[in-house]
Amino acid sequence: MQEEKIIVGLDIGTTKVCAVVGRMNEYNQLEILGLGHATSEGVRDGTVSNIAKTTEAIDQAITEAENDSQIEINVVNVGVAGKHIKSFRQHGSITLPHQEDEISVTDVDRLTNDMYRVITEPGTEIIHVLPLHYTVDSEEKIKDPVGMAGVKLEADFHIVTANSNSIRNIKKCIERSNLECDQMMLEPLASSMAVLTEEEKEAGVTIIDIGGGTTDIAIFYDGIIRHTAVIPFGGDIITSDIKQGCAVMQHQAELLKVNFGQSMAVETGDTEVVEIPGINNRTPKEISIKNLAYIIEARMEEIIDLVKAELADSGYFDKLAGGLVLTGGGSKLKNIQHLFEYKIGLDTRIGYPTAFLGKSDRSERVKDPKFSTALGLALAGFKALDQRELDRPRSIYQQPTGGETVPKEPTSDRIKVADTSPARGKNIFSDFLQKAKDLLIDDYDDTEDYKD
């Protein structure tokens, strides 16, 4: 069997659960092997509210992806979102041994790992520790200190936290689906891996992922993540507004939004109408396209105002040469790009996950903003969120791997894939036994020295 690594991204969203199976081809592009998705009924505002329904949707999406790829899925990378997400900055420092000639990756990792011990609000836990810039002795604003000489290493970090119960519920759904979670990643960070280029991150760019329950924001500048935020409004609240404003059923409101919705009422005609069936054989109802646009525009303006406030609070509003990138299912509303440009005053484009995709029939199926998060989660198994990790010499830094899957029983029509993932439980237990053994040996040696 030819060894290769296969990663599965699992996006557990408010409106859909999506699973993407991918691997890197010889051109360093993501080759899509399988895709599965299901309607999500157990997630509200990005947070699991019904374990059974969410598990059922995960099972359906994973089964569809397995059948499409002919690969058994055991391990997944999962996205995290919801209004419970919070972030803050934290300063940390360590003193280096005097005998060390230069700062190593081990020193940088030790400083980063110390941040996971920072005390957070009760009921929350840290999901990301993202370094901003470093200080070596008195030299500040260092992007990567590896290889420099110094005694004291300091850094400012962007720390992202999530509600512990929300994380626990996601893991419970994953376990009930007989899956293992390898990585958990904030969804806008995952989406950024699929739709942003390194040039945009260097110039300064904001990705705005408009999902069903939330609108997620991530700001990059100088190639580094600088700010994250979650706005508790998304496509679902627009659908709810249409339902109330037009006095229609929920599913009719969703169809009106998707098929006839526009973000700018000025772009619609005064006489355009759409007819929808009446309830229980009642007379069909006519809906004005302009009135529909007014409802959507009002809610989108509210969301945009909150986005603009987050940009202002971040301190990077005037540094976004790359402008805004809209992605997620909500970004497919007609004229939404122009509304963002008009209200915020920055260049805006729609982020399609195409830059890192290899050419194939399956790849064509996922070239849609609504799949950005799932594709980014798959890419997370091959790429580093922080480019500085990839720039370091391979001899002193080895990018962690994860999210690998194994094939089903090999048959003539199945893809044969070697299982490159380590036995996680066995390795952890073996490491524990080895450390215990080393401690016993040290104690025995100390006893013998004392006897002598």
Cβ–Cβ under 8 Å, residues 176 and 52: no
Look up residue 57 and give its amino acid: A
Say which range, 155-169, 261-275, 432-446, has the weakest mean pLDDT.
432-446
Question: Quick one: what percent of the chain has pLDDT higher than 90?
Answer: 67
What does the pLDDT read at residue 339? 96
Longest Cα–Cα distance in the chain: 101
User: What pTM was computed for the model?
Assistant: 0.82
* Sheet bearing 224-231, strands edge to edge: 224-231, 215-221, 205-210, 324-327, 348-350
CA atoms within 13 A on the CB side of 6: 26
Model pLDDT for residues 126-148, shown as the tens digit of each residue: 999 999 999 999 899 999 999 89
Cβ–Cβ under 8 Å, residues 270 and 301: no
φ, ψ for residue 131, nearest 5 deg = -70, 135
Q: Give the length of the chain.
A: 452
Which residue shows structure tokens 């929300």? 166
What does the pLDDT read at residue 430? 44
Residue 228's contacts (CB-CB under 8 Å, 6 or more residues apart) are: 85, 87, 158, 160, 186, 188, 189, 216, 217, 218, 219
Encode 314-325: b = buried (16+ Cβ within 10 Å), e = exposed.
Answer: bebbeebebbbb
List of domains in the chain: 86-163 (3.30.1490.110), 201-351 (3.30.420.40)
Cβ–Cβ under 8 Å, residues 212 and 15: yes
Tokens of 113: 């790992």
Model pLDDT for residues 10-33, shown as the tens digit of each residue: 999 999 999 999 998 888 889 999
Ranges of beta strands (E only) in 232-345 are: 273-276, 285-288, 324-327
Per-residue confidence at 438, pLDDT binned at 50, 70, 90? low
Which of 173, 171, 207, 201 shows the shortest CA–CA distance to 187?
A: 207
